[in-house]
Structure 1
Amino acid sequence: MQVTMDPTTEINYALGITRICMQALGLWPRTSNKLRLTIIAIYLLALTEWFAGQYAYYITKKLDWMPFIVKIKHTVVAHMFIGKYLLAIIAGSQFGECLSALERDWHNVKLTYEIEIMRIYATKGRYYALICFILSFTTVTLQLIVPLTPLSESRAFPYPSHYWFDYQSSPYYEIVYTLKIFSSTILAACNVTVDGFIIILIMHVIGQLELVSEHIRNMEVMKSTIETCVQRHRVVIWMAETLENSFNLVFLCHFMVSAIVMCLAGYSLMKSVERNESLESVISMFFIGSIAFHLFLYCYVSDKLTEKSLQVGYSAYCCNWYQHECKQSKPLLILMIRSSRSLKLSAGKFIVLSLENFTDVRDYLVVNFKAEIFWYIKKYFLQVLKTTGAYLSVLRKF
């Protein structure tokens, strides 16, 4: 049954707050190039102050190994966020192509069941992106208010920083602190916006694969032709491969740095628990949870993408192909051959994102820590991560 719906409203609902953040960060493909470049230049200039202050701190301060490990996690994760932002800027044209494909699918949908399936996956993508926003901005907010608590040092900054002027006196301290708030918000927004938009697009592709399977299973009822199913499947494969080819470096950036950052944050959590620093422990837990959830989302949607792509071939095999003429059934062979090669996401073309690799993230840790740190990580944090991933792998089957 055909129904009337407003495609623009559905698209805006699917993108949600991600669209607003993309426009604010200069990543929205429909924004004029002049405005985009202006926004990007302003943000990069603001972030220069953030990184310069931290670099100066590490150069001028002679820190012992343990305090250095506790403090460096913010700088490492900031490099990951700005790296993802720059990669998203470079992949701007691919963002536009995928967005156009999403809009085209919403404008072409007609039947009630098609709209329901697309709404289900649009809602999932929207909620996943929203959880990323909540976790990331909660972590940043907690970090920003730490210097304002009585437990903190007088006139401290949220992140370790040093400048070649009297930054402790007014109004310099207030100005620098305001810049820290601004730049920290930009960094968090860069991370969750890029992740959120990619997740929404991948969930849309998964929904389209579900539609193709549904078309094949109910070919006679819906009066759809085999050629139409094959053509739609071809478009979905193109979109999935475009996402993979365009953003595999983003996945690699997040996958590799996440292993290091979560290890640093895990060690910081253990030390803060030993010193009974409750606020720092809470921040470290949110920090770990945010990074781990982003990584888990990439692995989860990649697993779902693989599952749904293989399901298309299975649906073609189980349909009533024997009731059609030989000439009409041949396109199904093409569809099954294409489906035999599952769609997946990879980190840099050599690490397949999956829940199995999520639980084995320790294998990609490339930094050699001192024995005490590695012992803490191995005994407490990575074992918890692997166990949690195993439970999630079992629960998702129910």
Structure 2
Amino acid sequence: MSPTNASRTLFRNFNYKSDAEYVMKVAKILLTPVGVWPLYKTDSTFDKMKYVFQTSFIFSLMCFLLVPHIIYTFYDAEDLTRYMKVIAAQVFSLLGIVKFWTMIINRNDIKYCLQQMEIQYRDVESEEDRSVMVKHAKIGRQFTIMYLGLLYGGALPYHIIMPLVADKIIKEDNTTQLPLPYLSDYIFFVVENSPFYEVLFVTQIIFSTLILSTNCGVYGLIATSVMHACCLFEISRRHMETFLTSGTDDLHKRFGQIIVHHMRALRFTEMIEKSFNFVFLSEMVGCTIIICFLEYGVLKEWEDNQILGTIIYFILVISILVNVFTLSSIGDRLKEESVKIGETSYFINWYAVPAKNVSGLVMVMIRSNRPSTLTAGKIFDISLQGFCDVCKTSAAYLNFIRMVAA
């Protein structure tokens, strides 16, 4: 047995739990408070009851925030300009609810993906393979932290600072008060009187933070899962590159391991696609709408000489664009990594492969010609081309909105 194979046989990753925890930590911190983190220590009756109660309670809080806001903007908004400046927040909240229910409906599939990630860290065959996995985990975590900083850096000032600098609301007794972060019409009770108004002001900020956490947590989970799928393809490719350079001992066995790694990467990608393809569709469509309305907000704040409002809207535009670009780029990278293993199998000395392994090598080449991709609801691929389409479509919608509002 060659030294490389011996090291793979003897290698044990005793730190696999800490590695898996590192990968999942950010998403776990964000999704546990809203009750949709799929990994629990036990599936006891108490845990199931706690899960149902927590998710029902959080969903009720989201609806308490969003439904009165929609009622206000459709029935009580004073002008079209005000409506167009707040619709982006509504669409963003709806995206959060879509992600929330996706985590609930596809909980078992997502749980299986996370469990497989931990198993793959445990069963990694060499320190080199572990380094590849950790490298991709760091990239996924950096994407998440970057998006988290941009989104919270724009959304929280939008909910906290904007009401403080906005025009005061004049009540019937000629007193004034700050507008709520989410202008709302609560049909069954009046919220103008103190201290209920102040309590509701703080409550809306807290509830909006829950929606932010859901959006960021699911995004972080997607980023880390897709980057993990990329690392599985890269590991398969690395093994293919050294397939014929490690001697002829156990050649059939080593080729079988390559097939196992490749199939593991394909199955993991299919599970991600199955679990999140509706999220991808809602994200691409929703972000297109959000971007065009935020761009409109930038223009209106600039025309009104509201420098602070312009900066906040601009930060929000950048954060959503970064979100779409990152999602598109990791989708593109996944597609590229799935193709590379086929290219590698062609460039090795395949003519030196024993006849009994040739058919398997051909199957790898053929399968790689149909790359693994993430799709938006099975309609179109998540790629950099999709990002360009989002930018162009949002610009077209912006022109239409300006014409309507003129």
Match 2:191 to one of 137, 146, 167: 167
Match 1:135 to one of 145, 150, 160: 150
Change beyond 3 A, Cα 1:151–1:320: same
- Do the aligned residues in 2 keep the contact of 1:146 with 1:152 (CA within 8 Å)? no
1:332 aligns with 2:341: no
User: What is the aligned partner in structure 2 of residue 115 from structure 1?
Assistant: 130
User: What is the aligned partner in structure 2 of residue 184 from structure 1?
Assistant: 208
Corresponding residue SS for 2:293: helix
Corresponding residue SS for 1:286: helix
Corresponding residue SS for 1:344: coil
Q: TM (normalized to structure 1)? A: 0.88
1:7 aligns with 2:16: yes
In 1: Cα distance, 2:193 partner to 2:14 partner = 59
Corresponding residue SS for 1:156: coil
Which deviates more, 317-326 or 303-312? 317-326
Deviation at 1:375, TM superposition (A): 9.7
1:155 aligns with 2:187: no
In 2: Cα distance, 1:321 partner to 1:369 partner = 54
Deviation at 1:264, TM superposition (A): 0.5
User: What is the aligned partner in structure 1 of residue 286 from structure 2?
Assistant: 257
Deviation at 1:302, TM superposition (A): 0.8
Deviation at 1:8, TM superposition (A): 0.5
Match 2:402 to one of 360, 367, 373: 373
Corresponding residue SS for 1:219: coil
- Do the aligned residues in 2 keep the contact of 1:21 with 1:193 (CA within 8 Å)? yes
1:318 aligns with 2:347: yes
Deviation at 1:246, TM superposition (A): 2.0
Deviation at 1:368, TM superposition (A): 6.7
Which deviates more, 164-173 or 131-140? 164-173
Which deviates more, 306-315 or 110-119? 110-119
Corresponding residue SS for 1:25: coil
Q: Which amino acid aligns with 1:55?
A: I
Corresponding residue SS for 1:30: coil
- Do the aligned residues in 2 keep the contact of 1:29 with 1:96 (CA within 8 Å)? yes
Q: TM (normalized to structure 2)? A: 0.87
User: What is the aligned partner in structure 2 of residue 282 from structure 1?
Assistant: 311
- Do the aligned residues in 2 keep the contact of 1:155 with 1:168 (CA within 8 Å)? no
- Do the aligned residues in 2 keep the contact of 1:147 with 1:156 (CA within 8 Å)? no
- Do the aligned residues in 2 keep the contact of 1:272 with 1:281 (CA within 8 Å)? yes
Match 1:201 to one of 209, 213, 225: 225
- Do the aligned residues in 2 keep the contact of 1:345 with 1:352 (CA within 8 Å)? yes
Show CA shifts across 1:159-190 (max 9, x none): 22233544232210122112202210111011
User: What is the aligned partner in structure 2 of residue 233 from structure 1?
Assistant: 262
1:35 aligns with 2:50: yes
Which deviates more, 313-322 or 195-204? 313-322
- Do the aligned residues in 1 keep the contact of 2:99 with 2:279 (CA within 8 Å)? yes
Change beyond 3 A, Cα 1:221–1:212: same
In 1: Cα distance, 2:320 partner to 2:33 partner = 23
Corresponding residue SS for 1:24: coil
Q: Which amino acid aligns with 1:30?
A: L
Corresponding residue SS for 1:16: helix
Deviation at 1:33, TM superposition (A): 2.4
Q: Root-mean-square deviation (CA), in Å?
A: 2.3
Match 1:46 to one of 36, 61, 68: 61
Change beyond 3 A, Cα 1:160–1:148: closer
Corresponding residue SS for 1:337: helix
In 2: Cα distance, 1:143 partner to 1:283 partner = 6
Show CA shifts across 1:120-179 (max 9, x none): 101001111111211222222202322563555232211222335442322101221122
In 2: Cα distance, 1:213 partner to 1:16 partner = 28
Deviation at 1:5, TM superposition (A): 4.1
Which consecutive residues of structure 1, in runs of 5 or more, have no partner in the other structure? 377-398
Describe how 1:78-97 pairs up with structure 2 within 5 A. 78-97=93-112
User: What is the aligned partner in structure 2 of residue 24 from structure 1?
Assistant: 33
Which deviates more, 262-271 or 162-171? 162-171
Show CA shifts across 1:10-65 (max 9, x none): 11111222112222222222233222212111111111211232133224424222
Change beyond 3 A, Cα 1:289–1:33: farther
Q: Which amino acid aligns with 1:75?
A: Q
Which deviates more, 295-304 or 316-325? 316-325
Which deviates more, 90-99 or 1-10? 1-10
User: What is the aligned partner in structure 2 of residue 267 from structure 1?
Assistant: 296
Change beyond 3 A, Cα 1:371–1:132: closer
Taking only the aligned residue pairs, the percentage that are identical comes to 23
1:296 aligns with 2:325: yes
